[in-house]
């Protein structure tokens, strides 16, 4: 796919008399033990597609782009950490997000003649074409950029907004809230963010009575084999090399599909937690394991993270800015457990127990939970994780030209991750993104569709 970069610009936060930042100082936000495990991960990259046949170059440059830039500037005045960098002052015990008075967000403007309908569809798409719609997020040993944007015009077809975010700065909840806030301000042409959308930066709400910060930093050093014990290099883990045969595809479960799958397991146990998340993950996971095939005794593991904002004491504000996720997983199971006729039921039982167990998890065990997950990831033959959620409302991001026709999390290519989102046009359905070699993807899709028909 040919892509033309037409402009690179810096968007600064709009002047705000109430801002915590002024020309004489910097704003610093320390990372918490919820943020630190993600310090060396690759950026989370997501692309939003907007279909608009009236998107001529003239209309794009005179109407769409100015509105997007102005609203982004306005929203950044309340989301200052997104303009900053993660740094680690040698005199500080841990890294922080530091924002200087001249910091901004890099925005890349591009144009593509590619087939918009194909790129924004649900079928197989080559990763290179999707990555072309996403911005870079510069990282060095001592500084990691927090956030960047790329806006790509497809003349007379539509446009896309690609975002790259450092995972140690924000989780899916915070990222989605920011995008929806930006869209709301743009569509309504507001000058100020509504009070209920203003982010909370109060780190005092995150209590660390047992030295979790130090444990997390030690864990990250161990993963990177860093023995210096002074300041940790912020460069991420080596990127996974992907062949030209790797594709991204989105599978769909309708509301009726979800209900039918629930019926398959309702008689097993009346106490099972049969949420849409559990059903969708369990069904996709069993298709995934079957498609991989191989030795039935091979070790497989699965993991997901639960939002802990409402599980802490005191509860965090809904607009808390940052990560607040607790990992739970099921490790070292035999592939055979998910490949036989009861495989789907087995996966549902496992995930149901993990979800119900979240309410009783003690925050003091979070370091052990991350360590356990990373350990098994290094040697399990298949390790499934989830990116996104059906509760984030990504299709609500209407900038004034309609809701996105498609949203993709492209960064699932760096692991055996599955992305999950609500269906665009149906309440109760699920969109499931997968990134695999084409041959394996064809097998997953085959199992996925045949099992639904049966």
CA distance 454 to 450: 6
CA distance 208 to 84: 25
CA 407 vs. chain centroid, Å, equals 11
CA distance 277 to 9: 39
Radius of gyration for the chain, computed over Cα atoms and rounded to the nearest angstrom: 22
CA distance 398 to 390: 18
The arrangement of strands across the sheet holding 144-145 comes to 27-30, 96-99, 85-87, 144-145
- The residue whose two tokens read 């699920």 is 430
Establish whether 398 is a catalytic residue: yes
**Which stretches of 335-441 are assigned E, i.e. beta strand?**
382-388, 406-409, 417-422, 430-437
Catalytic residue among 166, 167, 213, 413: 167
CA distance 392 to 395: 9
Cβ pair 425, 440 in contact under 8 A? no
Neighbours of 67 (CB within 10 A): 17
DSSP designation for 394? G
Cβ pair 224, 237 in contact under 8 A? yes
Encoding tokens for residue 394? 């990504």
Name the pairing type of β-strands 299-307 and 382-388. Answer: parallel
Catalytic residue among 16, 142, 218, 398: 398
Establish whether 4 is a catalytic residue: no
Residues catalogued as catalytic = 167, 398
């Amino acid at each position: 796919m040919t892509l033309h970069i037409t402009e690179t610009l810096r968007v600064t936060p709009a002047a705000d008399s109430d801002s915590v930042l002024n020309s004489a100082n910097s704003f610093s936000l320390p990372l918490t033990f919820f943020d630190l495990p993600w310090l060396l991960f690759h950026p989370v990259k997501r692309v939003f597609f907007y279909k608009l046949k009236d998107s001529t170059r003239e209309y794009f440059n005179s109407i769409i782009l100015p509105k997007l830039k102005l609203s982004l500037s306005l929203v950044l005045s309340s989301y200052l950490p997104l303009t900053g960098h993660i740094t680690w002052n040698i005199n500080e015990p841990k890294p922080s997000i530091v924002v200087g008075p001249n910091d901004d967000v890099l925005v890349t403007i591009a144009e593509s003649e590619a087939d918009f309908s194909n790129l924004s569809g649900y079928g197989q798409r080559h990763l290179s074409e999707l990555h072309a719609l996403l911005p870079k997020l510069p990282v060095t040993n001592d500084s990691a950029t927090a956030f960047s944007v790329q806006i790509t015009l497809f003349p007379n077809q539509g446009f896309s907004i690609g975002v790259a975010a450092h995972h140690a700065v924000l989780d899916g909840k915070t990222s989605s809230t920011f995008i929806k806030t930006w869209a709301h301000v743009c569509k309504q042409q507001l000058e100020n963010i509504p009070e209920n959308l203003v982010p909370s930066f109060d780190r005092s709400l995150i209590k660390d009575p047992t030295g979790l910060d130090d444990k997390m930093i030690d864990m990250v050093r161990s993963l990177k084999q860093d023995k210096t014990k002074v300041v940790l290099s912020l460069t991420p883990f080596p990127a996974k090399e992907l062949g030209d045969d790797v594709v991204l595809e989105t599978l769909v479960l309708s509301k009726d599909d979800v209900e039918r799958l629930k019926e398959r397991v309702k008689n097993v146990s009346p106490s099972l937690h049969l949420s849409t998340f559990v059903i969708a993950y369990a069904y996709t996971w069993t298709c995934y394991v079957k498609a991989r095939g191989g030795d039935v005794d091979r070790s497989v593991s699965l993991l997901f993270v639960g939002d802990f904002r409402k599980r802490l004491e005191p509860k965090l504000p809904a607009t808390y800015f940052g990560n607040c996720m607790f990992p739970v997983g099921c490790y070292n199971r035999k592939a055979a457990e998910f490949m036989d006729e009861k495989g789907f039921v087995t996966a549902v039982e496992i995930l149901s127990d993990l979800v119900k167990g979240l309410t009783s998890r003690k925050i003091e065990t979070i370091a052990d939970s991350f360590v356990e997950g990373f350990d098994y990831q290094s040697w399990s033959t298949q390790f499934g994780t989830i990116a996104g959620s059906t509760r984030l409302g990504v299709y609500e991001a209407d900038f004034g030209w309609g809701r996105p026709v498609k949203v993709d999390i492209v960064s699932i290519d760096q692991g055996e991750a599955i992305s999950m989102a609500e269906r665009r046009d149906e309440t109760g359905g699920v969109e499931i993104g997968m990134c695999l070699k084409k041959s394996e993807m064809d097998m997953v899709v085959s199992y996925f569709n045949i099992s639904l028909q049966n």
